[in-house]
Structure 1
């Protein structure tokens, strides 16, 4: 998606796709939508087609640069639970967005079982839907799942067989912050194959979880293979503690051209 702040930018984006072939055949048809303004959040839930087990709301950072500058990416970080979605707003989202969507799918002969991911934005007109995905979010899952104290497999299996009755999820009261380490140049052109140093130092960090993304093991070393390379997740009783844990761990990691945003979750610093 190309998010445009002006009519001129929108026209330029449309021209690039339709006339200049910016995305090849995939850009031959475009969808133009209203430019929404507000604070985004990601709502994940597991459903058997009727019953819904909601996960804590998360908020991700799509722009590559600090202060939400630069182009969109696959996600440069996230945190959970996101305060922008209060318990009352979450219940409203379930009642007005999630459950009607499931009912409509069933009515069209497409009952949905599995993980439903709703991307929403809190606007002046209330919650507005940006997108739906039939999967967990990335990097939202990296901050939501570490807070789950009950069995994820049990939830998924119950959803798969169409019976979530009696299933609940237990959540830790902690906070989670994910910072993505990216290759220099991402989301544009970037180089790969660089050795990653410092990973062994994180093995005994109780409040840090490392998720690999664009990596591979070659000749006994872990090297970069993609734009988004690693997800460093810090956990803490407060967002401040989780932020410190994540960025302290990042100080021990290095690869050529490594880049990350320095402001992940700063808006909820306690």
Structure 2
């Protein structure tokens, strides 16, 4: 079968890489892909306009593509799935209505509250003055969220009142786009965990739990990013806790979507915090695979990915056997451009990838492109270096060892990925 993967990041490289390991898959197209997908055997990058949904549908039918896998949230929120469905094309990725669970934090919060899903108390505001008054009344620490999509950077965990007020002003000044709403949430303490679950709209199955590292700075300091590293599985997430997350969060959310006549086929990604008393609460939902969690989870997957995603698209997930996993751990460290998540320079040559992969690690490309056979940087997060080991410490050590020969000007990575691997991690 032929599969089209939409997107250009590390997540999409990981998806294409894993799909090509499925015996049923003979070709993957990536739209637009990156320097890493360009080098994959039986993978072809496309120069189609990613915003031209009708052209994507036409290409898909002309090439007899069996399944379209949509990686990023933007095309999902813009309705790419809907356009493809109208043309009878199988898609892994929710419709525009389902994508609201990520594209509108206020919509998602209302869904959670209506379904009794454990989450932080919150209030929504449409102007800076009322949001400011509320924050002054509540005090800090407090969480300020831009309502719409912000590439993982629209959340400010404000430890001071000044930081919260600055965040409010930035949102309404248009830092993350023309925002008309803002969400103010209570600050929750505990350990964060990401649970990505596959669903066909009727059945839902969680993948291995992962832990992301969103702040740019070591010790979880500085502004949020799209993610600076991840590992899976999370040692302190027991099978009983994962079952509780499934029964208290994932299944009620799917039922709430169904009650709104939303046919949700894709990933339901729950960003959770496990409170000190051991209870999971939802920080946010995403409507797609996480990045870089995907780069840590997929290397451990034994069940063919194509079979799972196809079963979701065809609403046959209940017929699939139990998802099988490799024994061990995977650790992923992101190399970013200097200055990210703020302004950064592009077009620096990248060297050392052959040496890195000679260690046995996998280097997933995110912000890269091939320019006259030279690999150069083209984004904020440039590479994600993933290694698998029998123990968590082994995987982490291998990932950092593989990362050491890779060089590009002004590169940056966190040296403390995995610091919160224990339940009492900070």
TM band (smaller chain): over 0.9
Structure 1 residue aligned with 2:346: 192
Q: Which runs of 5+ in 2 are unaligned?
A: 1-154
Structure 2 residue aligned with 1:86: 238
The yes-or-no answer on 1:35 pairing with 2:187 is yes
Paired residue secondary structure (1:43): strand
The yes-or-no answer on 1:58 pairing with 2:216 is no
Instruction: Give the alignment's TM-score, normalised by structure 2.
Output: 0.60
Paired residue secondary structure (1:50): coil
Paired residue secondary structure (1:131): strand
Counterpart mapping for 1:171-250 below 5 A: 171-206=325-360, 208-250=361-403
The yes-or-no answer on 1:69 pairing with 2:221 is yes
1:22, CA displacement in angstroms? 4.5
1:61, CA displacement in angstroms? 0.1
The yes-or-no answer on 1:26 pairing with 2:178 is yes
Structure 1 residue aligned with 2:88: none
8 A Cα contact 1:102 1:111, kept in partner: no
**Could you report, residue by residue, the CA deviation over 1:198-246 in whole angstroms, capped at 9, with x for unpaired residues?**
112234332x111000000112210000110000001100111111111
1:38, CA displacement in angstroms? 1.4
1:119, CA displacement in angstroms? 0.6
8 A Cα contact 1:41 1:84, kept in partner: no
How many Å separate the matches in 1 of 2:292 and 2:353?
A: 20
How many Å separate the matches in 2 of 1:186 and 1:147?
A: 29
8 A Cα contact 2:236 2:421, kept in partner: no
How many Å separate the matches in 2 of 1:148 and 1:24?
A: 35
**Could you report, residue by residue, the CA deviation over 1:76-134 in whole angstroms, capped at 9, with x for unpaired residues?**
00000012322111101100110011111111111312211111001135211011111
Structure 1 residue aligned with 2:119: none
- 2:304 paired residue among 143, 146, 151: 151
How many Å separate the matches in 2 of 1:5 and 1:32?
A: 13
Instruction: Give the alignment's TM-score, normalised by structure 1.
Output: 0.94
1:24, CA displacement in angstroms? 6.8
Structure 2 residue aligned with 1:166: 319
Structure 2 residue aligned with 1:104: 256
- 1:5 paired residue among 154, 159, 175: 159
Structure 2 residue aligned with 1:129: 282
8 A Cα contact 1:50 1:99, kept in partner: no
How many Å separate the matches in 2 of 1:65 and 1:161?
A: 42
How many Å separate the matches in 2 of 1:210 and 1:228?
A: 13
How many Å separate the matches in 2 of 1:39 and 1:262?
A: 19
Relative to its length, the structure with more helix (as a share) is 2
Structure 1 residue aligned with 2:266: 114
Paired residue secondary structure (1:15): helix
Paired residue secondary structure (1:266): coil
Question: Aligned residue pairs: how many?
Answer: 266
1:164, CA displacement in angstroms? 1.3
How many Å separate the matches in 2 of 1:44 and 1:110?
A: 19
Paired residue secondary structure (1:33): strand
1:50, CA displacement in angstroms? 2.2
**Could you report, residue by residue, the CA deviation over 1:173-193 in whole angstroms, capped at 9, with x for unpaired residues?**
110000000001111111011
Structure 1 residue aligned with 2:406: 253
Structure 1 residue aligned with 2:84: none
